[in-house]
Amino acid sequence: MFQSFTGNSRRPRQVNLSGRSNNPFAAFPGGSPSRPAPHAANPESAVANAQRERALRQLERNRQNASRTVQRVWRGHRSRTATYKSWKSEWDTYEWTRVSHNLGVTDHAVSMTETERLESLLRLPSAPYSTAEQCLDQLRLLVQFVGSVKRQEDVLRLVYFCKVFEQTFHALPTIATEGEWTELLKRLAIAILNTLDSATSTSTHRAAVLPLIQTVAYLVELIPKRMAASAKYYYQAMASLTKNIVVLGDSLSPDQVTKAVIALLRPITSETMTAYEAFAISYLTIPNLAGYLGQLDSLAQDINYKVLASAIEPLIAPADEALLAGNTEAQYWLLSYLIFFHRHALSGQANIKTPDLGFLTAVSGLLNLTSSHLTRCLEAEESSDEDSPNGPALHSFVKDQISSLVNQSSITGLLSRIKTTHLSQKDLSNSESDATREAKILATYALNLLRVFPRRGDDIRMWLYMGSAPSGDQIPGQPGMKIPAIKYFWQASKSSQIFNIISNDSTKVLALLQLPKHGDGRVSISQEDRDQEWTIILLFFELYTFLLKVMDDEEFFSSASPFAASDNIQSSWTKESALPLKDIRDMTVFLKNLAFTLYWNLADLTSKGDTTTSTGDLRNYFTNTTQPSVVSERQEAEAKEHSNDLPGVTGIPLDYFKGLVTGLLRMLHERDSRRKFLPSDHWLMTDRFDMEGFIPAVVAEEEKRHEFQDDEDDTETDLLDDETPADSHLVGNSHARQLIRLQAMRDRQQKAARGKALALIAPRLEILRNMPFFIPFATRVQIFRQFIFRDQQRRRKGYVDPESWRLSVAQSSMMNGPVNGADILARHHADIRRESVFDDAFSEFYELGDGLKEPIQISFIDQFGAMEAGIDGGGVTKEFLTSVTSQAFKTDDMESMFAENDHHLLYPHPAAVDQRKAILNEAGLSNSSSAWQEEVRDLLRRYEFLGRVIGKCLYEGILVDVNFAPFFLLKWALTGGTRSAVKESSYRANLNDLKDLDEGLYQGLVSYATRRIFSFHAVEHRAHYFPSAATQELPRKCGRFCS
């Protein structure tokens, strides 16, 4: 009996969750190919199989949809082709019938091909249409199928109709071109322009160029407004014809192209500006137009450069930057043509007359776009090194036109273009007034000239400084009063929102230097207004920095009027440009707050984030190793990509900006140091520091700096590198010289990168180094002593006392061997002869380098060669150091390293190196010999060693009775050593420094400048006596007030 029998005959359901087939034969091949494979033995495979089947179904649906699309497109193409064919047949039949009837010839068109029939129509004498309606009907039909004009037959139809069309309009002069005619003629013109754009495709196209270009010019006369609206297609066709004028040969002459180009610009309509825009974008971006047209005078005769400048201005605005972005070549060729048209319009007065503001705006924008490329090319051409691996050279036409911008008359007269009614102090105080807008235009143009021509920067600043504008605040009885450029731009800067915000609240400076943030209500100035106001302020900084170089203290303190100048011809222009002391005080407050933020918040300003699109930058000027030129271009591209600009100020490099602000602030502090005009605590910024913990914080930053520097490999600098830069041509071939220059460039870049990294980790130290007057003097002295103490602890491993250090060295020698310790102590001991203290000190201690900081022991030897009795417990070392300085700083010797001025203040002898070179040349040594170079290096090493001796005295707290000239102290502090200031903020010579050098020469120059108000060029000849008794005169040029 079966226990499972239930009496139900239905087969029980089989539930199989394993995915395996119960049919043993299903695993063998031979099944239906359309049947899907069985699911795998796991759930993941089942899901994958389902996805594959779904994808196959979707692919099938896509195939069906694609086939329907192909069928629809094909049906449309076939229908259009049939329609076009019927239209063409109708058009051809009508024209052939009309011509046959007029000429009375037999119709043999049935036996001709389409091309032969059209060629016959062109050969036969054509008659105009009898009525305007016939011409309109044929025109309406023609433009339906002739659109792109790719086929040869369509070109023949177009040429034939253009010939008949002109005859009809001449025969029926009463035809009105309004209404339907206008649109149809516009479509006809576009079809003709498309044909001209592809003029080199076939011989038929080339033969059709001349009649078609004549018809286009005729259409410009009929519908000038509609043709100007289609100027984009017009000048694209003209550009194609110009580029292929050599290929077209006899079909087209340069004069015919020139006439066609200017035809669209002659009519004055509401669309004239559109025509000039297309002319600028499509045609004036062709390189070397003169090479195609022969000369540009005939083209320039009918060009209105003012309208062209107005058309270019919106094309280079940030919103429309895409129209010209990325094509630097097109940008600088457009700039060159614009300058050429301006110069041609003014004929010989281009360098005399001042350009108008519209022209300046367009030129400034294009200079902004191309400044990096132009600067690199101009620097490469002006470089004296033939193997300089810089960028490609500029075309001679481009170079001549751009260089013509730098001339004294046009730059000096820039302010004269400003309307007199806009030049009142009230107008400049309004940031929305026309006077402020004009100031922004002039400032942008001037700064772009400084960027593109850095080598002529002093000339440009000088000419700008000499400029003036007519005053709107005229005083009765004194007509012709002028406002100096300095006062004009100062008033514009002072009235800006940025100046007022920074001067009143130093905590808002960072927000003005960063990108605007959503929800940040601290500063409500748009990015465009920021850029424009910063531009005015930067130009004022440039000009005022230059003015301080050529202005003596008497002129600096002489001004009483903040804005207008008198018409006193006896007064120097420098004196008229002086600002009132109250304004200078306001300026120093602004500079203090700005400079402090640039150093204190440097990490926030250099952090990478979202950046706005920029039309250029003020930066200025700044791998396949087998090609050095490729290396330099790639490095420049990488530097431009990672350029460190101010985030909130478009196109201004941070280093340039910081250096300019710091340098100007220092120069004003120097004036106040010589002759106090500000309160005693005016320069302090102690309210921005926690002064209780300031000294420990600075010491901690110094420790971080040392830790960072310990990770870098120190490299010895050749003292002769800066002295003889032209000697590199003596080294190897051109490839080797290029590699040497590239390595030097990499070293400079690495040094700059290390300096930036150190500035980020030590903002307090950077402020102390660049603007020490922010901190009280007593605090700075304490910091200096702390630095020395920490350095002694670090170098001497905790044994600061000299005797303790010597004992520790001796003990360490017992542990590590006698040679090491004994050698250290021996190197720090010297036998010094009384009659040659400095020479012996140099030979004994120069090789120590910074090891001179350690305690030294001196034994004096008298004139008889006997060693003087005594133990050096510190007093002998002090006597040694004072003896070295007193002997080295003697000025009565023929080979003295230093000279003194009228007040017995010392500075390095200006002819010391020349004397040494003259002696070597007289001895028969050539400049390229190793002995000659070693002797010159030896003299430079002596200067270096003498600086170490002075440093040793400061390090040990030894007082030395040496009085240096102030200008030398400033230059030494800012340009000497590994932590010297950057180029923009380093030592800046001025007229008052000449007073410290030679007071007689200074008085003479001041007297000369008073009589001759403008610039001068003086040459002083000083006789220097060389050992051979031969006297040589070394000219010391002093151009533009020794600037």
Q: What's the pLDDT tens digit per position in 61-114? A: 999 999 999 999 999 999 988 988 888 888 888 888 888 777 666 555 556 777
pLDDT band at 15 (very low <50, low <70, confident <90, very high): confident
| Average pLDDT, integer, range 220-225 | 91
The 8 Å CB, 24+ separation contacts for 136-140 are 136/180, 136/181, 136/184, 138/91, 138/94, 138/95, 139/165, 139/184, 139/185, 139/188, 140/180, 140/184
Neighbours of 986 (CB within 10 A): 18
Taking the CA of residue 990 as centre, how many other CA atoms within 13 Å lie in the half-sphere pointing to its CB?
A: 24
Does residue 440 register a pLDDT over 90? no
| Average pLDDT, integer, range 668-690 | 90
One-letter identity of residue 674: R
Does residue 431 register a pLDDT over 70? no
Task: State residue 527's pLDDT score.
Answer: 77
Contact 434, 427 (CB under 8 A): yes
SS3 of 220-272:
HHHCHHHHHHCHHHHHHHHHHHHHCHHHHHHHCCHHHHHHHHHHCCCCCCCCH
Q: Per the structure block, which two tokens stand in for 864?
A: 């008889």
**Integer CA distances (angstroms), 753 to 700, 749, 756, in order:** 22, 6, 5
Find all residues with CB under 8 Å of 721, minimum gap 6, and list them.
none
**3 state SS of 202:** coil
Length of the chain: 1043
The matching CATH number, chosen from 3.30.1330.10, 3.20.20.70, 3.40.50.2300, 3.90.1750.10, for 828-965 is 3.90.1750.10
Bridge partners of 861? Answer: 833, 867
pLDDT over 70 percentage in the chain: 74
Neighbours of 957 (CB within 10 A): 9
Q: Which residue has the higher pLDDT, 374 or 1030?
A: 374
* Helix (H), strand (E) at residue 1035: strand 1031-1039
| Average pLDDT, integer, range 833-861 | 89
Contact 374, 394 (CB under 8 A): yes
Task: State residue 225's pLDDT score.
Answer: 92
Residue in 376, 381, 362, 374 with CA at minimum distance from that of residue 402: 374
DSSP state of 279: I
Does residue 870 register a pLDDT over 70? no
| Average pLDDT, integer, range 267-287 | 92
Measured distance CA(919)–CA(1025) in Å, rounded: 11
Find all residues with CB under 8 Å of 580, minimum gap 6, and list them.
559, 560, 561, 562
**3 state SS of 1000:** helix
Neighbours of 403 (CB within 10 A): 15
Find all residues with CB under 8 Å of 1030, minimum gap 6, and list them.
918
| Average pLDDT, integer, range 175-204 | 84
| Average pLDDT, integer, range 418-435 | 59
**3 state SS of 317:** coil
Q: Report pLDDT digits (tens) over 748-775.
A: 666 666 666 777 778 888 898 889 999 9
Contact 269, 222 (CB under 8 A): no
Q: Report pLDDT digits (tens) over 804-814.
A: 888 888 887 66
Q: What is the mean pLDDT of the chain?
A: 78
Q: Report pLDDT digits (tens) over 27-73.
A: 444 444 445 555 455 677 888 899 999 999 999 999 999 999 999 99
Task: State residue 151's pLDDT score.
Answer: 79
Contact 369, 650 (CB under 8 A): no
Q: Report pLDDT digits (tens) over 717-726.
A: 555 554 444 4
Q: What is the CA radius of gyration of the chain?
A: 41
Measured distance CA(873)–CA(861) in Å, rounded: 17
Q: Report pLDDT digits (tens) over 986-1002.
A: 667 777 788 888 888 88
Task: State residue 781's pLDDT score.
Answer: 92
pLDDT band at 432 (very low <50, low <70, confident <90, very high): low
Q: Report pLDDT digits (tens) over 690-706.
A: 888 889 988 888 888 87
Q: How far is CA 831 from the centre of its chain?
A: 57
The 8 Å CB, 24+ separation contacts for 1022-1026 are 1024/911, 1024/914, 1024/915, 1025/894, 1026/915, 1026/918, 1026/919
Task: State residue 116's pLDDT score.
Answer: 79
| Average pLDDT, integer, range 556-580 | 71
Residue in 722, 468, 683 with CA at minimum distance from that of residue 596: 683
Contact 309, 338 (CB under 8 A): yes
Task: State residue 20's pLDDT score.
Answer: 62
The 8 Å CB, 24+ separation contacts for 1022-1031 are 1024/911, 1024/914, 1024/915, 1025/894, 1026/915, 1026/918, 1026/919, 1027/894, 1027/895, 1027/915, 1027/919, 1028/918, 1028/919, 1028/922, 1030/918
Q: How far is CA 505 from the centre of its chain?
A: 31
Contact 354, 413 (CB under 8 A): yes
**3 state SS of 178:** coil
Lowest mean pLDDT among 208-222, 420-434, 940-954: 420-434
Going by their DSSP bridges, the two strands 829-833 and 857-861 should be labelled as: parallel
Task: State residue 633's pLDDT score.
Answer: 47
Q: Report pLDDT digits (tens) over 490-505.
A: 988 998 889 999 999 8
| Average pLDDT, integer, range 427-441 | 70
Taking the CA of residue 466 as centre, how many other CA atoms within 13 Å lie in the half-sphere pointing to its CB?
A: 19
DSSP state of 903: T
Q: Report pLDDT digits (tens) over 258-275.
A: 999 999 999 998 999 999
Task: State residue 389's pLDDT score.
Answer: 47
